[in-house]
Every structure is written in C-alpha cells, then in structure tokens.
Chains A and B, each alone.
Chain A
C-alpha cells in the first residue's frame, strides 16, 4: 500500500510558539490531503481538506488563522499551529488521497500521526 509519513512524530513546545508539522506521500502523488485531530481516547475530527495548489477548506469551528495549511506540492502538505496554547495539545493525523475523478474511490492513506504537547 501507499506510504504517508509525518514529521515530527512528537513535539513539545512552549506556549506562544508556532509549530510546523509535515505530511508527505512517499510513493504516490496526493492531489488531496486531509488533517485530522484526535484527543486522547477520542475520535478523529476532520480539521481541513487541502487540494494541491489551492487554499485549504476548513471544517466549521476550526480557526484558519490558528491552523495554517499549505499544500504546495503533490507530495507535501504542512500544518502550522500558530501561537500554540496548551489547549492545542493533541494528536494530529494527516491522510492523503490521489486522483481527482468524481465517482471514483480515492482511498485515503494515513500518516502515523504527530503528538503535540504545548507547555
């Protein structure tokens, strides 16, 4: 199956700093990437969808100025948590899908996740 990597796997930062998380599709071109957030022992919540070369589409309730998403190439998307605070501490997971065709099944391949801890 296709491989998606995330970097870093774990990050600890001080309150007020910004943190960048990278999501890469290693062996396929990902026209669409997704960012999910997972609280401890909770479900995954879709934060935003990004298509290569376009602005990200954010889900309701997600602050776009807080969570900056860039999808500059077909293999890389980045999530930047700006001015991070303790309540931003969470597990962030990306997924990637290839293809743009309507009605086609574009399987999403998940990255291993990034644990963010804001002190």
Chain B
C-alpha cells in the first residue's frame, strides 16, 4: 500500500513571498501520478498541479511549481508571489498509473494549512 506524508501541519508566509510545502511518499510502484490539491474554507477540492512519475521535468502551473525527486520519493510544492487567495489546506496525493479497467482512487497526505500574512 502507498502512503503519503506531509510533515508540516501548518505553514505561514508573508504575502508576495515564496513558500514551499513538503511531501514524501512511499510506494513500490515505478510509475504513478502525484498531485497537489487545494481545499479552501468552502471545502471544494481544487487540483493545483499534477506530475507524472515517468516525466523528469518538474511540472509548473503559473505561480505553482513542484520539485519532484523520484529517488528520494519527495514531491514538494513551491508557491511564488503568495496571494491572500492561496490561503487553504493543501493536500499531496498519490495515484497508481496502471488501473485495472477504470480509474484509481487517490491516497492523500494529512494536509498542510497554509496561512498568508498580509
């Protein structure tokens, strides 16, 4: 079974600064997907960024980028130019690449509560 660990229950950053959220995972699979999801107070899960394990290039989506270290099983999220709207719970998630005829569910970390200081 796969596990996802987020060791930072809470992080705080000044508006316009950069913050990095950590995530490590454990798996015996060689191919998989990794995700960062944002959950604002509305509780709606929002996909922030996705990384395919077979791609060496780190994924980037505007101000959001990841540092994917496959050998170390590490997948951190960097948020640049932090904005007040970035305040939320951030969850790291894992999904197997190979699905038996359908999609696979996600394994989530415990989340990091990100606070943006104005």
Contacts and interface: CB of A to CB of B under 8 A. Distances in A.
Residue from B100, B101, B109 having most chain A Cβ neighbours under 10 A: B101
Interface of A: 31-32, 34, 36, 38, 42-46, 49, 51, 59, 91, 93, 95, 97, 99-100, 102-103, 105-108, 110, 112-113
21 contacts: A32-B103, A34-B105, A43-B91, A43-B110, A44-B91, A45-B108, A46-B107, A49-B104, A51-B102, A95-B45, A95-B106, A97-B102, A100-B101, A100-B102, A102-B99, A102-B101, A103-B98, A106-B103, A108-B103, A110-B45, A112-B44
B41 to A, nearest CB: 12
Given A42-B110, A43-B108, A97 B103 contact: yes
A48 to B, nearest CB: 8
Residue from A44, A46, A97, A110 having most chain B Cβ neighbours under 10 A: A44
A108 B43 contact: no
> Number of contact residues on B: which range applies?
20 to 34
